[in-house]
Amino acid sequence: MRAFFQRVLRILTSVFDELSDQNAYRRHLAAHGTVHSPQEWRRFQDEHWAAKSRRSRCC
Amino acid sequence: MGKILGRILWAAIALAAAFSMGAVAQSRGEPVNSTWLVIASVCTYLVGYRFYARFIAARVMALDDKRATPAERLRDGHDFEPTNKWIVFGHHFAAIAGPGPLVGPTLAAQFGYLPGFLWIVIGATLGGAIQDFVILFGSLRRDGKSLGQMAREEVGKVGGFTALVTVLLIMIILLAVIGLVVVNALKDSPWGAFTIFATMPIAVFMGLYLRYWRPGKVGEASLIGFILVMSAVWGGQAVAQSATIAPWFTLSGKQLAAALIIYGFLASSLPCWLLLAPRDYLSTFVKLGVVILLGAGIILVRPDLQLPPLTRFIDGTGPIFAGKIFPFCFITIACGAVSGFHALISSGTTPKLLSREQSALGVGYGSMLLESFVAVMALIAAASLQPGVYFAVNSPAGIVGAAPAAATATIANWGFAVSPQEMSSLADQVGEKTLFNRTGGAPSLALGMAHIFVSSTGGQAFMGFWYHFAIMFEALFILTTLDAGTRVGRFMLQDLLGHAWPRLGRTSWMPGILGASAVIVLAWGYFLYQGVVDPLGGINSLWPLFGIANQLLAAVALCVGTTILVKMHGAKFMWVTCVPLVWLVAVCFTAGWQKIFSPIPALGFLAQADQLAAGPQTAVTATLVFNARLDAAVTGIFLVLVATILIDSVRVWAGILGGTRVAKTTETPFVPTRLAEEL
């Protein structure tokens, strides 16, 4: 039972990370072979939102 | 043994679905408890998912986990990335869940709760979820291509271009109508207006916080933003009670429309990190939180539905919108059952993240079922209001009269008792001056939600807080769709114009950005203004227009889906998408035809224009006549565009089935997966 709740919690945390772009940021850091810094975050924000803001939103 | 138990369990679920549906449908004369709706819908979804969707996954699509998905083959660390199916589910659901499933069922409750409930559940299970699932599958097998690209490659160039133009036009109508919902919810409401105005500087603060002060701390910034927004909801009461400040936030419909237009322009032109991104984070978390809260509230409170299963307005004489139950119930529910816009998400980010083909079942089909359940909850919240209150809030002054006594008398005449004192007391409880003529669905939904929250948490004194919390949630949600939609519209327009003059297509060229933003904002702003000055409240004309447009986009998606299935299996399984397609075409074309040509002025745009033109002529009348004719023209354009794609698709199907055309598939070849196990 404990393992089940741990798994649920892990999934919820991962969903939160995905929705808050934390996973995307990790992928960005890995793809660029770099580590977190304010400049890198700003670069990620600009790249990520340039693509994200082009996607249609549902009604 | 396990197999037998499984069969017994599924038989029990199917029986529970049938029995609860029967209880909901057969009940007359006494209030039905919302628990029946919850059981009926959940059990139907389970049966639909277990048997119908899995049949399609196995037999029609032949989903294969040994096949590498685009996320694996084209992995780039940006768009394409194999991701855990539950994370993709959360992402997909957050993207497809918009304000439509909340507002549509609330408005459609004018027919009673039964037609809307049946369509939400059946339409989603057999239509909406199938559309999302098939398009996701199609995109998954085509390197994550968009609906427009698939339309061009599967159906033809005409279909692809028409799909692009259709999406742009639909977006303009969508933004106008959701803007109108916000305007009607905040009109003459200093508490509500203050709360929503406060979300703008809060979002800018979050943007600066994330950009410069604590880069990357999205959770932290969202939490601070949420606390500030809740403080604004709480502080709004003091603003509304202040003789000095309240007038600043007591705004007319026209003032609010102007504010929204300016906001839309700024949101489209400013850097994303400053306004769009922080609002998006905040809105997503608030949205998911409120959906969970509402679900828990309904399960705890189990409210009785006060609206009857069917009202007299199934004959087409409804005060909220004109038109008979067929086709207007289906047009009005829109996204709660079938949403064409979902096809854009199913062929957008989602197929680029799925690590296994089988996950498309849960993500594509399952997410739509969850959205449908959100629509059921909205319907329960609206239908748990006293019918007299529901109609007093949602009916425009042009139908029931502007004076409380006249409005309540008209509504009582319809058989729904309500008194001016009752409405006045309710308005006092929620901290509003009046709740009459608050068309658009948002205020009545907020009332229903506030009732549920108050009943589950206790404390009648918090009614005002919960009402404005619900208004804040709806408006925040809608404005996020509005600012993101304006930006997407701007990009689409720049893409189109870029073919004529490449410089205009450059998204870094400021005059191009400002010009395209202005065109998009003015386009939806015009329809918004039209809704604000409409004596019938605007929702009567704009919501059906949006519903028709959205369902027509679903028809486009189903045309593409059917073409894919015909190319795979010939005629054998084309019924999977053809059945919902035929239904949607019947619904949309009937509704479109009636909206243009019905001789009833409340229903037909041209009849309305003729009636206005025959009356006393003023500048306002001339504008209203022009608007009605414009609405007729826009509806006609939608029908022609979709008829074009439909004819093109039928031509392709007939060619393939008749043997005169080669079923050339654009599906990518099989590549075995190298992913050892699910992420």
Q: What is the pLDDT of residues B62-71, one digit of tens each?
A: 999 999 999 9
In a domain, B267, yes or no: yes
Whether B272 and chain A come into contact, CB under 8 Å, resolves to: yes
B341:A19 CB<8 A: no
Q: Does residue B524 form part of some domain?
A: yes
Residues from chain A that touch B485, judged by Cβ atoms under 8 A, are: 56-57
**Ordered alpha helix ranges (H), B598-673:** 605-614, 619-658
Q: Which residue does chain A place closest to B276, by CA atoms?
A: A53
CB contacts of A33 in chain B (<8 Å) are none
Q: Does B96 touch chain A (CB under 8 A)?
A: yes
Residue of B526, B520, B262 whose CA lies nearest to B512: B520
CA dihedral B316, B317, B319, B324 (to 10 degrees): 0
Query: Does residue B199 form part of some domain?
Result: no
Q: Which of B544, B485, B489 is nearest to B168 (CA)?
A: B489
Q: In Å, what is the CA distance from B264 to each residue of B99, B261, B488, B514? A: 17, 5, 12, 12
pLDDT tens track for B523-540: 999 999 999 998 888 888
At B33, which helix (H) or strand (E)? strand B32-33
Q: Does residue B219 sit within a domain? A: no
Q: Which of B277-281, B518-522, B622-626 reaches the highest mean pLDDT?
A: B518-522
Residue B607: what pLDDT? 97
Q: Is B222 touching A (CB cutoff 8 A)?
A: yes
CA distance B134 to B378: 27
3-state SS track over B124-141: HHHHHHHHHHHHHHHHHC
Higher pLDDT, B322 or B166: B322
pLDDT tens, position by position, B625-667 = 999 999 999 999 999 988 998 999 999 999 999 999 998 888 9
Query: Within 10 Å of residue B62's Cβ, how many Cβ atoms?
Result: 12
Judge: B481–A46 Cβ closer than 8 Å, yes or no. no
Q: Is the dihedral of CA B154, B158, B163, B164 positive or negative?
A: positive
Nearest to B344 among A17, A50, A56 (CB): A56
Distance CA B349, CA B80 (A): 8
B110-128 burial string, b = 16+ CB within 10 Å, else e? bbbbbbbbbbbbbbbbbbb
Percent of all residues in chain B with a pLDDT value above 70, rounded to a whole number: 99
pLDDT band at A16 (very low <50, low <70, confident <90, very high): confident
CB spacing of B276 vs A21 below 8 angstroms: no
Number of domains in chain B: 1
Which residues of chain B have a CB within 8 Å of the CB of A27?
A: 77-78, 81
Alpha carbon distance, N-terminus to C-terminus of chain B: 32
The shortest CB-CB distance from A27 to any of B77, B276, B334 is to: B77
Mutate one of A8, A32, A57 to test the B interface: name it (highest B CB count within 10 A).
Answer: A57
Nearest to A25 among B81, B216, B281 (CB): B216
Interchain contact B98–A (C-beta under 8 A): yes
Helix (H, G, I), strand (E, B) or coil at B672: strand
Task: Pick left, alpha or beta for residue B270 (phi over 0 → left; psi -120 to 50 → alpha; otherwise beta).
Answer: beta
d(C-alpha B482, C-alpha B497), whole Å: 22
CA distances from B126 to A59, B207, B289 (A): 20, 42, 28
Name the residue in chain A with its Cα closest to that of B333: A59
Shortest distance, CA A45 to any CA of chain B (angstroms): 7
**Cβ contacts of residue B424 below 8 Å, gap of 6+?**
B404, B434
Question: Is position B622 within any domain?
Answer: yes
Mean pLDDT, range B475-496, rounded to an integer: 86
Asked if residue B213 is part of any domain, the answer here is: no
- Asked if B287 and B473 touch (Cβ cutoff 8 Å), the reply is yes
Which of A14, A45, A51 has the CB atom closest to B273's CB atom? Answer: A45
Task: Note the pLDDT of residue B378.
Answer: 95
Per the CB < 8 Å rule, is B276 touching A53?
yes
Contacts 24+ apart (CB under 8 A), B648-656: B648/B155, B648/B156, B648/B158, B648/B159, B649/B155, B649/B159, B649/B559, B649/B560, B649/B562, B649/B563, B652/B154, B652/B155, B652/B156, B652/B563, B652/B566, B653/B562, B653/B563, B653/B566, B653/B574, B656/B566, B656/B567, B656/B570
pLDDT digits (tens, 9 = 90+) for B23-43: 998 887 788 999 999 999 999
> Which of B181, B217, B272 best tests the A interface by mutation, with the highest count of A CBs <10 A?
B272
pLDDT category of residue B620 using cuts at 50, 70 and 90: confident
Q: Is B226 helix (H, G, I), strand (E, B) or coil?
A: helix
Closest chain A residue by Cα to residue B336: A59
pLDDT digit string, tens, across residues B458-483: 777 899 999 999 999 999 888 888 88
Looking at beta carbons, which residues of chain B come within 8 Å of A31? Answer: 76-78
Q: By the CB < 8 Å criterion, does B215 face chain A?
A: yes
Give residue for tokens 């998912």: B49
- For B175, the token pair is 């933004």
State whether residue B345 sits within 8 Å of chain A by CB. yes
Chain B residue at shortest CA distance from A27: B77
What the block records as the tokens of B462 is 């918090």
For residue B244, is it within any domain?
no
Residue B137 has pLDDT above 60, yes or no: yes
Q: Is B462 on the interface with A (CB under 8 A)?
A: no
pTM value is 0.93
**How many CB contacts within 8 angstroms connect chain A with chain B?**
127
Amino acid identity at B301: V
* 3-state SS, residue B304: strand
> Residue A24's closest chain B neighbor by CA?
B78
Question: What CA–CA distance (Å, rounded) separates B221 from B210?
Answer: 7
Instruction: Give per-residue pLDDT as tens, B355-391.
Output: 999 999 999 999 999 999 999 999 999 999 999 999 9
State the average pLDDT over residues B578-603.
Answer: 96
Domain, as residue range, for B650: 2-188+251-308+323-658
Give the helix, strand, coil percentages of chain B, each rounded to 5. 75, 0, 25
Q: How many CB atoms lie within 10 A of CB B594?
A: 23
Tell if the CB–CB gap between B272 and A59 is shorter than 8 Å: no
Average pLDDT over all residues of chain B: 92
Question: What's the pLDDT band for B678 if we cut at 50, 70, 90?
Answer: very low
- Chain B: nearest CA to A36, how far in angstroms? 9
Answer whether residue B679 shows pLDDT above 60. Answer: no
Q: Name which of B450, B466, B465, B536 is nearest B184 in CA terms.
A: B536
CATH code of B265's domain:
1.20.1740.10
Nearest to B130 by CA among B592, B455, B578, B429: B578
Per residue in B436-459, pLDDT (tens digit) is 999 999 999 999 999 999 998 877
Q: Give the span between the Cα atoms of A18 and B284, in whole angstroms.
A: 11
Task: Decide if pLDDT at B677 tops 60.
Answer: no
Question: Which of B201-210, B284-293, B328-337, B496-505 is least confident?
Answer: B496-505
User: How much is the pLDDT for B676?
Assistant: 66
Position B256 pLDDT exceeds 90: yes
Query: What is the CB-side half-sphere exposure of residue A49 using CA atoms within 13 A?
Result: 24
Asked whether residue B246 is domain-assigned, the answer is no
Alpha helix segments (H runs only) across B534-618 = 539-569, 575-597, 605-614
Its ipTM equals 0.92
